[in-house]
Amino acid sequence: TRLYKMVRSGGLRSNTRHLFSKSFRKSGPVHLSTYLVTYKVGDYVDIKADPSIHKGMPHKFYHGKTGIVWNVTPRAVGVEVNKLVGNRLLKKRIHVRIEHVQ
């Protein structure tokens, strides 16, 4: 008799139980000041996903990374981030909504 093990799923938000959770007494709606910040091309920004807003959320890999703004749209910014793949650094260009950028 063969024993088959169930495969562990690796979805888009897998292993993010604590990564995408707000701390104690920090939950609630987003402050309006986050939308009033103006970003310009060339600015350094930190990508920090806000778990209360699912739209425009970056992948868990980019959470906590710092990048340079290369594009600005009405609701989002394009951020260029370095990603280590094997032994080389790739420049990844991702669009992230304003709520997930600091």
* pLDDT digit string, tens, across residues 52-64: 999 999 999 999 9
* pLDDT digit string, tens, across residues 25-40: 999 999 999 999 999 9
Q: pTM of this prediction?
A: 0.87
Tell me, what amino acid is at 88? Answer: R
Question: How far apart (Å, rounded) are the C-alpha atoms in residues 99 and 78?
Answer: 13
Confidence of residue 99 (pLDDT cuts 50, 70, 90): very high
Sign of CA dihedral 83, 89, 94, 97: positive
Of 74, 64, 82, the residue nearest 98 (C-alpha): 74
- Would you state the structure tokens that stand for residue 41, as one six-digit string? 């091309």
Task: Provide the 8-state DSSP code for 75.
Answer: S
